[in-house]
Structure 1
Protein backbone atom coordinates (compact mmCIF):
# COMPACT_ATOMS: atom_id res chain seq x y z
CA UNK A 1 0.00 0.00 0.00
CA UNK A 2 1.41 3.39 -1.04
CA UNK A 3 1.38 5.99 1.73
CA UNK A 4 0.73 9.72 1.36
CA UNK A 5 3.85 11.82 0.81
CA UNK A 6 4.39 15.53 1.45
CA UNK A 7 6.57 16.27 -1.57
CA UNK A 8 5.62 13.49 -3.98
CA UNK A 9 2.50 12.27 -5.70
CA UNK A 10 2.63 8.53 -6.33
CA UNK A 11 -0.04 6.82 -8.42
CA UNK A 12 -0.15 3.20 -9.54
CA UNK A 13 -2.04 2.64 -12.78
CA UNK A 14 -2.43 -1.09 -13.50
CA UNK A 15 1.20 -2.20 -13.08
CA UNK A 16 2.96 1.13 -13.69
CA UNK A 17 3.90 3.56 -10.91
CA UNK A 18 4.03 7.28 -11.68
CA UNK A 19 6.06 9.39 -9.22
CA UNK A 20 5.60 13.16 -9.54
CA UNK A 21 7.88 15.47 -7.55
CA UNK A 22 5.40 18.02 -6.29
CA UNK A 23 7.00 21.32 -5.23
CA UNK A 24 6.02 23.50 -8.20
CA UNK A 25 6.43 26.79 -6.30
CA UNK A 26 10.09 25.87 -5.81
CA UNK A 27 10.48 24.36 -9.30
CA UNK A 28 10.51 20.93 -7.61
CA UNK A 29 13.89 21.64 -5.99
CA UNK A 30 15.38 18.73 -4.04
CA UNK A 31 15.57 19.27 -0.31
CA UNK A 32 16.17 16.75 2.46
CA UNK A 33 12.49 15.83 2.65
CA UNK A 34 12.20 15.16 -1.10
CA UNK A 35 15.31 12.97 -1.08
CA UNK A 36 14.10 10.96 1.91
CA UNK A 37 10.66 10.51 0.37
CA UNK A 38 12.14 9.44 -2.98
CA UNK A 39 14.18 6.78 -1.17
CA UNK A 40 11.12 5.59 0.74
CA UNK A 41 8.95 5.48 -2.39
CA UNK A 42 11.65 3.44 -4.13
CA UNK A 43 11.69 0.94 -1.26
CA UNK A 44 7.89 0.59 -1.32
CA UNK A 45 7.85 0.09 -5.10
CA UNK A 46 10.70 -2.40 -4.96
CA UNK A 47 8.72 -4.52 -2.49
CA UNK A 48 5.62 -4.59 -4.72
CA UNK A 49 6.00 -7.35 -7.30
CA UNK A 50 2.89 -6.18 -9.17
CA UNK A 51 4.64 -2.99 -10.33
CA UNK A 52 6.65 -3.57 -13.51
CA UNK A 53 7.85 -0.06 -14.49
CA UNK A 54 8.14 3.42 -12.99
CA UNK A 55 7.73 6.85 -14.56
CA UNK A 56 9.37 9.77 -12.75
CA UNK A 57 8.36 13.35 -13.59
CA UNK A 58 7.91 16.83 -12.11
CA UNK A 59 4.77 18.85 -11.41
CA UNK A 60 3.95 22.01 -13.33
CA UNK A 61 5.08 23.06 -16.78
CA UNK A 62 8.40 24.73 -15.95
CA UNK A 63 10.54 22.14 -14.23
CA UNK A 64 11.28 18.47 -13.86
CA UNK A 65 13.66 19.37 -11.03
CA UNK A 66 15.44 22.71 -11.22
CA UNK A 67 18.19 21.54 -8.86
CA UNK A 68 18.94 20.96 -5.21
CA UNK A 69 17.43 23.46 -2.78
CA UNK A 70 20.02 26.28 -2.55
CA UNK A 71 18.22 27.89 0.40
CA UNK A 72 18.79 24.69 2.38
CA UNK A 73 22.37 24.26 1.17
CA UNK A 74 23.64 27.81 1.59
CA UNK A 75 24.80 27.66 5.21
CA UNK A 76 25.91 24.05 5.43
CA UNK A 77 29.37 23.28 6.78
CA UNK A 78 31.75 20.61 5.44
CA UNK A 79 30.18 17.76 7.42
CA UNK A 80 26.63 18.83 6.56
CA UNK A 81 27.57 19.17 2.89
CA UNK A 82 28.90 15.61 2.84
CA UNK A 83 25.77 14.35 4.62
CA UNK A 84 23.52 16.06 2.06
CA UNK A 85 25.54 14.62 -0.83
CA UNK A 86 25.41 11.17 0.76
CA UNK A 87 21.64 11.42 1.26
CA UNK A 88 21.11 12.35 -2.40
CA UNK A 89 23.40 9.62 -3.66
CA UNK A 90 21.67 6.99 -1.51
CA UNK A 91 18.25 8.04 -2.81
CA UNK A 92 19.40 8.06 -6.43
CA UNK A 93 21.14 4.69 -6.03
CA UNK A 94 17.87 3.20 -4.79
CA UNK A 95 16.17 4.49 -7.95
CA UNK A 96 19.00 3.30 -10.19
CA UNK A 97 19.03 -0.15 -8.58
CA UNK A 98 15.30 -0.82 -8.58
CA UNK A 99 14.69 -4.25 -10.11
CA UNK A 100 12.30 -2.65 -12.61
CA UNK A 101 13.03 0.02 -15.25
CA UNK A 102 12.58 3.70 -14.39
CA UNK A 103 11.65 6.19 -17.12
CA UNK A 104 12.35 9.89 -16.57
CA UNK A 105 9.68 12.02 -18.27
CA UNK A 106 11.55 15.33 -18.33
CA UNK A 107 8.95 18.09 -18.61
CA UNK A 108 11.14 21.18 -18.13
CA UNK A 109 14.32 22.25 -16.34
CA UNK A 110 16.50 19.31 -15.28
CA UNK A 111 19.42 21.16 -13.73
CA UNK A 112 21.98 20.15 -11.13
CA UNK A 113 20.34 17.54 -8.94
CA UNK A 114 17.53 17.33 -11.48
CA UNK A 115 19.88 16.34 -14.28
CA UNK A 116 21.56 13.91 -11.90
CA UNK A 117 18.18 12.38 -11.06
CA UNK A 118 17.41 11.77 -14.74
CA UNK A 119 20.75 10.01 -15.10
CA UNK A 120 19.86 7.61 -12.28
CA UNK A 121 16.89 6.52 -14.40
CA UNK A 122 17.15 3.88 -17.11
CA UNK A 123 15.45 5.76 -19.95
CA UNK A 124 15.07 9.52 -20.45
CA UNK A 125 12.22 10.98 -22.51
CA UNK A 126 12.41 14.76 -22.91
CA UNK A 127 9.77 17.34 -23.69
CA UNK A 128 10.81 19.69 -26.48
CA UNK A 129 10.85 22.35 -23.73
CA UNK A 130 13.29 20.46 -21.50
CA UNK A 131 16.65 21.94 -20.50
CA UNK A 132 19.57 20.07 -18.99
CA UNK A 133 22.74 21.12 -17.21
CA UNK A 134 25.09 20.89 -14.25
CA UNK A 135 25.46 24.55 -13.26
CA UNK A 136 26.94 23.87 -9.80
CA UNK A 137 30.31 25.31 -10.82
CA UNK A 138 28.70 28.78 -10.89
CA UNK A 139 27.70 28.35 -7.24
CA UNK A 140 31.22 27.56 -6.12
CA UNK A 141 30.52 23.86 -5.75
CA UNK A 142 30.37 20.75 -7.97
CA UNK A 143 27.77 18.05 -8.65
CA UNK A 144 27.10 16.11 -5.45
CA UNK A 145 24.46 13.57 -6.43
CA UNK A 146 26.50 11.51 -8.91
CA UNK A 147 26.73 13.95 -11.82
CA UNK A 148 30.52 13.85 -12.10
CA UNK A 149 30.32 10.06 -12.43
CA UNK A 150 27.15 9.26 -14.38
CA UNK A 151 27.48 12.02 -16.98
CA UNK A 152 30.86 10.81 -18.35
CA UNK A 153 29.53 7.26 -18.43
CA UNK A 154 26.55 8.39 -20.51
CA UNK A 155 28.05 10.93 -22.92
CA UNK A 156 31.83 10.37 -22.70
CA UNK A 157 34.50 12.23 -20.75
CA UNK A 158 35.12 15.06 -23.20
CA UNK A 159 31.53 16.28 -23.56
CA UNK A 160 30.85 15.64 -19.87
CA UNK A 161 33.81 17.78 -18.81
CA UNK A 162 32.67 20.62 -21.07
CA UNK A 163 29.19 20.57 -19.49
CA UNK A 164 30.57 20.20 -15.95
CA UNK A 165 33.32 22.85 -16.27
CA UNK A 166 31.23 25.51 -18.06
CA UNK A 167 27.91 24.99 -16.28
CA UNK A 168 26.28 25.38 -19.68
CA UNK A 169 22.55 24.67 -19.94
CA UNK A 170 21.66 22.68 -23.05
CA UNK A 171 18.33 22.21 -24.81
CA UNK A 172 16.59 18.92 -25.53
CA UNK A 173 18.00 18.70 -29.06
CA UNK A 174 21.58 18.97 -27.83
CA UNK A 175 20.85 16.49 -25.04
CA UNK A 176 19.56 14.02 -27.64
CA UNK A 177 22.57 14.67 -29.90
CA UNK A 178 25.05 13.74 -27.17
CA UNK A 179 23.06 10.71 -25.98
CA UNK A 180 21.81 12.17 -22.71
CA UNK A 181 18.17 11.55 -23.69
CA UNK A 182 16.59 8.71 -25.66
CA UNK A 183 13.99 10.73 -27.52
CA UNK A 184 12.24 14.10 -27.67
CA UNK A 185 8.47 14.51 -27.85
CA UNK A 186 6.05 17.42 -27.84
CA UNK A 187 5.29 18.58 -24.31
CA UNK A 188 1.64 17.54 -24.65
CA UNK A 189 2.68 13.98 -25.55
CA UNK A 190 5.35 13.47 -22.87
CA UNK A 191 3.46 11.33 -20.37
CA UNK A 192 1.59 9.52 -23.15
CA UNK A 193 4.91 8.49 -24.72
CA UNK A 194 6.43 7.54 -21.36
CA UNK A 195 3.41 5.39 -20.56
CA UNK A 196 3.61 3.65 -23.96
CA UNK A 197 7.19 2.66 -23.26
CA UNK A 198 6.31 1.59 -19.72
CA UNK A 199 3.40 -0.51 -20.98
CA UNK A 200 5.62 -2.20 -23.56
CA UNK A 201 8.14 -3.06 -20.84
CA UNK A 202 5.36 -4.21 -18.50
CA UNK A 203 4.14 -6.68 -21.13
CA UNK A 204 7.49 -8.48 -21.17
CA UNK A 205 8.93 -11.01 -18.73
CA UNK A 206 9.51 -9.20 -15.41
CA UNK A 207 12.37 -11.54 -14.58
CA UNK A 208 13.91 -11.15 -18.03
CA UNK A 209 13.72 -7.36 -17.74
CA UNK A 210 15.10 -7.36 -14.18
CA UNK A 211 18.01 -9.66 -15.04
CA UNK A 212 18.79 -7.60 -18.16
CA UNK A 213 18.88 -4.40 -16.10
CA UNK A 214 21.21 -6.08 -13.60
CA UNK A 215 23.48 -7.27 -16.42
CA UNK A 216 23.74 -3.77 -17.92
CA UNK A 217 24.14 -1.88 -14.64
CA UNK A 218 26.70 -4.22 -13.14
CA UNK A 219 28.38 -5.37 -16.34
CA UNK A 220 29.34 -1.90 -17.55
CA UNK A 221 31.53 -1.51 -14.45
CA UNK A 222 33.38 -4.77 -15.11
CA UNK A 223 35.98 -5.78 -17.66
CA UNK A 224 34.49 -7.57 -20.68
CA UNK A 225 35.49 -11.07 -19.56
CA UNK A 226 33.81 -10.74 -16.15
CA UNK A 227 30.83 -8.91 -17.67
CA UNK A 228 30.21 -11.74 -20.13
CA UNK A 229 30.50 -14.25 -17.27
CA UNK A 230 27.81 -12.29 -15.43
CA UNK A 231 25.59 -12.45 -18.51
CA UNK A 232 26.14 -16.22 -18.83
CA UNK A 233 25.15 -16.71 -15.18
CA UNK A 234 22.01 -14.57 -15.44
CA UNK A 235 20.99 -16.05 -18.80
CA UNK A 236 21.28 -19.58 -17.45
CA UNK A 237 19.34 -18.73 -14.29
CA UNK A 238 16.30 -17.69 -16.34
CA UNK A 239 15.91 -21.27 -17.57
CA UNK A 240 14.68 -22.19 -14.09
CA UNK A 241 11.71 -19.80 -14.39
CA UNK A 242 8.10 -20.16 -15.44
CA UNK A 243 8.50 -16.96 -17.50
CA UNK A 244 11.01 -18.72 -19.77
CA UNK A 245 8.71 -21.69 -20.26
CA UNK A 246 5.72 -19.42 -20.93
CA UNK A 247 7.63 -17.09 -23.27
CA UNK A 248 8.99 -19.84 -25.48
CA UNK A 249 5.75 -21.83 -25.47
CA UNK A 250 3.81 -18.72 -26.47
CA UNK A 251 6.25 -18.03 -29.30
CA UNK A 252 5.96 -21.56 -30.69
CA UNK A 253 2.17 -21.55 -30.26
CA UNK A 254 1.92 -18.12 -31.96
CA UNK A 255 0.09 -16.47 -29.06
CA UNK A 256 0.68 -13.56 -26.67
CA UNK A 257 2.75 -14.58 -23.64
CA UNK A 258 1.20 -14.12 -20.19
CA UNK A 259 4.17 -13.47 -17.94
CA UNK A 260 3.76 -13.61 -14.16
CA UNK A 261 7.28 -12.86 -13.00
CA UNK A 262 7.82 -16.39 -11.69
Structure 2
Protein backbone atom coordinates (compact mmCIF):
# COMPACT_ATOMS: atom_id res chain seq x y z
CA UNK A 1 0.00 0.00 0.00
CA UNK A 2 1.38 3.37 -0.95
CA UNK A 3 1.04 5.69 2.00
CA UNK A 4 2.33 8.98 3.27
CA UNK A 5 3.56 8.75 6.83
CA UNK A 6 2.31 10.59 9.89
CA UNK A 7 3.92 10.58 13.33
CA UNK A 8 3.18 7.94 15.92
CA UNK A 9 2.21 5.02 13.69
CA UNK A 10 -0.52 6.76 11.71
CA UNK A 11 -0.59 6.57 7.91
CA UNK A 12 -2.62 8.32 5.22
CA UNK A 13 -3.94 6.06 2.44
CA UNK A 14 -2.92 6.83 -1.12
CA UNK A 15 -6.50 7.73 -1.99
CA UNK A 16 -7.67 10.90 -3.73
CA UNK A 17 -10.25 12.77 -1.65
CA UNK A 18 -12.14 16.07 -1.84
CA UNK A 19 -10.40 18.96 -0.02
CA UNK A 20 -12.78 18.84 2.96
CA UNK A 21 -12.48 15.08 3.55
CA UNK A 22 -9.57 13.26 5.20
CA UNK A 23 -8.68 9.66 5.97
CA UNK A 24 -6.12 7.87 8.15
CA UNK A 25 -5.24 4.40 9.36
CA UNK A 26 -3.37 3.47 12.52
CA UNK A 27 -0.77 0.71 12.56
CA UNK A 28 0.33 -1.57 15.36
CA UNK A 29 3.11 0.94 16.02
CA UNK A 30 0.39 3.29 17.27
CA UNK A 31 -1.07 0.61 19.52
CA UNK A 32 -4.26 -1.29 20.16
CA UNK A 33 -7.47 0.76 19.95
CA UNK A 34 -9.94 -1.94 21.05
CA UNK A 35 -10.91 -0.89 24.56
CA UNK A 36 -13.12 -3.84 25.38
CA UNK A 37 -10.60 -6.66 25.07
CA UNK A 38 -7.03 -7.65 25.68
CA UNK A 39 -5.38 -4.42 26.77
CA UNK A 40 -5.36 -2.00 29.67
CA UNK A 41 -8.58 0.04 29.21
CA UNK A 42 -6.90 3.20 30.50
CA UNK A 43 -4.07 2.82 27.97
CA UNK A 44 -6.55 2.31 25.12
CA UNK A 45 -8.57 5.37 26.12
CA UNK A 46 -5.37 7.41 26.23
CA UNK A 47 -4.46 6.24 22.71
CA UNK A 48 -7.89 7.26 21.50
CA UNK A 49 -7.39 10.76 22.89
CA UNK A 50 -3.92 10.92 21.33
CA UNK A 51 -5.43 9.82 18.01
CA UNK A 52 -8.00 12.61 18.10
CA UNK A 53 -5.32 15.17 18.94
CA UNK A 54 -2.78 13.88 16.38
CA UNK A 55 -5.28 14.00 13.52
CA UNK A 56 -6.95 17.22 14.71
CA UNK A 57 -10.31 15.50 14.38
CA UNK A 58 -13.28 17.86 14.50
CA UNK A 59 -14.92 15.73 17.19
CA UNK A 60 -14.21 12.62 19.23
CA UNK A 61 -14.74 9.30 17.47
CA UNK A 62 -17.91 7.43 18.40
CA UNK A 63 -16.70 3.83 18.29
CA UNK A 64 -19.17 1.22 17.11
CA UNK A 65 -19.93 -2.01 18.95
CA UNK A 66 -19.04 -4.20 15.97
CA UNK A 67 -20.68 -7.63 15.83
CA UNK A 68 -20.65 -8.61 12.13
CA UNK A 69 -24.10 -7.16 11.43
CA UNK A 70 -25.38 -5.25 8.40
CA UNK A 71 -26.56 -2.32 10.54
CA UNK A 72 -25.51 1.23 9.60
CA UNK A 73 -25.65 4.13 12.05
CA UNK A 74 -26.33 7.64 10.71
CA UNK A 75 -24.61 10.66 12.27
CA UNK A 76 -25.07 11.92 14.93
CA UNK A 77 -25.11 8.62 16.79
CA UNK A 78 -24.18 7.10 20.11
CA UNK A 79 -22.16 3.92 20.43
CA UNK A 80 -24.36 0.97 19.54
CA UNK A 81 -24.25 -2.42 17.85
CA UNK A 82 -23.49 -1.67 14.20
CA UNK A 83 -20.81 -2.35 11.64
CA UNK A 84 -20.95 0.79 9.54
CA UNK A 85 -21.19 4.51 10.19
CA UNK A 86 -22.48 7.15 7.75
CA UNK A 87 -22.58 10.95 7.85
CA UNK A 88 -23.68 13.83 5.65
CA UNK A 89 -22.87 16.43 8.29
CA UNK A 90 -19.86 18.77 8.61
CA UNK A 91 -17.48 18.25 11.53
CA UNK A 92 -18.23 14.52 11.67
CA UNK A 93 -16.08 11.39 11.98
CA UNK A 94 -16.70 7.75 10.98
CA UNK A 95 -14.36 4.94 12.04
CA UNK A 96 -14.06 1.17 12.33
CA UNK A 97 -11.66 -1.21 14.07
CA UNK A 98 -10.26 -4.29 12.32
CA UNK A 99 -7.63 -7.04 12.44
CA UNK A 100 -8.17 -9.20 9.31
CA UNK A 101 -11.71 -8.06 8.44
CA UNK A 102 -12.08 -5.46 5.70
CA UNK A 103 -12.00 -1.79 6.69
CA UNK A 104 -13.83 0.09 3.92
CA UNK A 105 -14.01 3.88 3.66
CA UNK A 106 -16.47 5.64 1.35
CA UNK A 107 -16.85 9.24 0.21
CA UNK A 108 -19.02 11.14 -2.26
CA UNK A 109 -17.13 13.05 -4.95
CA UNK A 110 -18.48 16.36 -3.62
CA UNK A 111 -17.25 15.59 -0.07
CA UNK A 112 -20.68 15.90 1.53
CA UNK A 113 -21.12 12.25 2.49
CA UNK A 114 -18.75 9.78 4.16
CA UNK A 115 -18.94 6.29 5.62
CA UNK A 116 -16.77 3.67 7.32
CA UNK A 117 -17.56 -0.04 7.11
CA UNK A 118 -16.35 -3.07 9.08
CA UNK A 119 -16.81 -6.08 6.80
CA UNK A 120 -15.85 -9.51 7.97
CA UNK A 121 -17.10 -12.33 5.78
CA UNK A 122 -20.35 -12.62 7.74
CA UNK A 123 -21.15 -8.94 7.54
CA UNK A 124 -20.18 -8.72 3.88
CA UNK A 125 -22.33 -11.75 3.01
CA UNK A 126 -25.16 -10.23 5.05
CA UNK A 127 -25.03 -6.97 3.07
CA UNK A 128 -23.27 -4.45 5.32
CA UNK A 129 -21.41 -2.82 2.41
CA UNK A 130 -24.54 -2.67 0.28
CA UNK A 131 -26.42 -1.09 3.19
CA UNK A 132 -23.71 1.53 3.71
CA UNK A 133 -23.65 2.48 0.01
CA UNK A 134 -27.46 2.65 0.00
CA UNK A 135 -27.25 5.28 2.76
CA UNK A 136 -25.71 7.75 0.30
CA UNK A 137 -27.97 10.27 -1.42
CA UNK A 138 -25.25 10.72 -4.04
CA UNK A 139 -25.53 8.38 -7.06
CA UNK A 140 -23.20 5.40 -6.79
CA UNK A 141 -21.28 6.57 -9.86
CA UNK A 142 -20.19 9.58 -7.79
CA UNK A 143 -18.97 7.60 -4.77
CA UNK A 144 -15.36 6.60 -4.24
CA UNK A 145 -14.36 3.61 -2.09
CA UNK A 146 -11.12 2.57 -0.38
CA UNK A 147 -10.70 -1.07 0.68
CA UNK A 148 -8.05 -1.28 3.36
CA UNK A 149 -5.64 -3.88 4.81
CA UNK A 150 -7.25 -7.25 5.48
CA UNK A 151 -6.55 -10.96 5.38
CA UNK A 152 -5.27 -11.75 1.89
CA UNK A 153 -6.54 -14.20 -0.70
CA UNK A 154 -3.45 -16.41 -0.36
CA UNK A 155 -4.08 -17.15 3.33
CA UNK A 156 -7.83 -16.77 3.97
CA UNK A 157 -8.83 -20.42 4.18
CA UNK A 158 -12.57 -21.03 4.53
CA UNK A 159 -15.06 -23.87 4.39
CA UNK A 160 -17.98 -24.62 2.10
CA UNK A 161 -20.32 -22.58 4.30
CA UNK A 162 -18.49 -19.34 3.49
CA UNK A 163 -18.26 -20.08 -0.23
CA UNK A 164 -21.91 -21.10 -0.37
CA UNK A 165 -23.01 -17.91 1.41
CA UNK A 166 -21.29 -15.68 -1.15
CA UNK A 167 -22.26 -17.70 -4.20
CA UNK A 168 -25.88 -17.64 -3.02
CA UNK A 169 -25.58 -13.86 -2.73
CA UNK A 170 -24.26 -13.56 -6.29
CA UNK A 171 -23.14 -16.38 -8.63
CA UNK A 172 -20.16 -14.37 -9.92
CA UNK A 173 -18.56 -14.61 -6.47
CA UNK A 174 -17.57 -18.19 -7.32
CA UNK A 175 -14.50 -16.83 -9.12
CA UNK A 176 -13.10 -15.46 -5.84
CA UNK A 177 -12.69 -18.91 -4.27
CA UNK A 178 -9.73 -21.15 -5.09
CA UNK A 179 -9.82 -24.82 -4.13
CA UNK A 180 -7.24 -25.58 -1.43
CA UNK A 181 -7.07 -29.14 -0.04
CA UNK A 182 -10.56 -29.77 1.30
CA UNK A 183 -11.25 -26.05 1.73
CA UNK A 184 -11.14 -22.79 -0.22
CA UNK A 185 -8.96 -19.68 -0.35
CA UNK A 186 -11.23 -16.64 -0.42
CA UNK A 187 -10.47 -13.21 -1.89
CA UNK A 188 -12.53 -11.04 0.43
CA UNK A 189 -11.27 -7.72 -0.92
CA UNK A 190 -12.23 -8.64 -4.49
CA UNK A 191 -15.66 -9.78 -3.34
CA UNK A 192 -16.13 -6.35 -1.74
CA UNK A 193 -14.90 -4.58 -4.88
CA UNK A 194 -17.32 -6.60 -7.00
CA UNK A 195 -20.14 -5.65 -4.62
CA UNK A 196 -19.25 -2.00 -5.19
CA UNK A 197 -19.25 -2.46 -8.96
CA UNK A 198 -22.66 -4.11 -8.88
CA UNK A 199 -23.96 -1.15 -6.86
CA UNK A 200 -22.67 1.22 -9.55
CA UNK A 201 -19.46 2.43 -7.88
CA UNK A 202 -16.61 2.82 -10.38
CA UNK A 203 -13.93 4.56 -8.31
CA UNK A 204 -12.46 1.79 -6.16
CA UNK A 205 -9.01 1.77 -4.56
CA UNK A 206 -7.63 -1.40 -2.94
CA UNK A 207 -4.72 -1.26 -0.51
CA UNK A 208 -3.59 -4.82 -1.42
CA UNK A 209 -2.09 -5.15 2.08
CA UNK A 210 -2.43 -8.53 3.82
CA UNK A 211 -2.72 -8.27 7.60
CA UNK A 212 -1.54 -11.85 8.08
CA UNK A 213 1.56 -11.67 5.89
CA UNK A 214 2.45 -8.17 7.08
CA UNK A 215 1.60 -8.50 10.75
CA UNK A 216 4.64 -6.48 11.72
CA UNK A 217 2.60 -3.48 10.55
CA UNK A 218 -0.99 -4.64 11.13
CA UNK A 219 -2.81 -6.59 13.80
CA UNK A 220 -4.02 -10.01 12.64
CA UNK A 221 -6.49 -12.13 14.57
CA UNK A 222 -5.77 -15.23 12.48
CA UNK A 223 -2.01 -14.88 12.87
CA UNK A 224 -1.89 -14.00 16.56
CA UNK A 225 -5.26 -14.94 18.09
CA UNK A 226 -5.06 -11.62 19.94
CA UNK A 227 -7.83 -9.10 20.33
CA UNK A 228 -5.93 -5.94 19.36
CA UNK A 229 -7.35 -3.78 16.56
CA UNK A 230 -6.20 -0.92 14.32
CA UNK A 231 -8.46 1.94 13.22
CA UNK A 232 -9.53 3.20 9.80
CA UNK A 233 -11.00 6.69 9.99
CA UNK A 234 -12.65 9.15 7.62
CA UNK A 235 -13.82 12.64 8.55
CA UNK A 236 -15.05 15.85 6.98
CA UNK A 237 -14.58 19.48 7.92
* TM-score normalised by structure 2 residue count: 0.32
Q: Which has the larger radius of gyration?
A: 1
Structure possessing the higher relative contact order (Cα contacts under 8 Å, 6 or more residues apart): 2
Structure with the higher fraction of residues in helix conformation: 1
Structure with the higher fraction of residues in strand conformation: 2
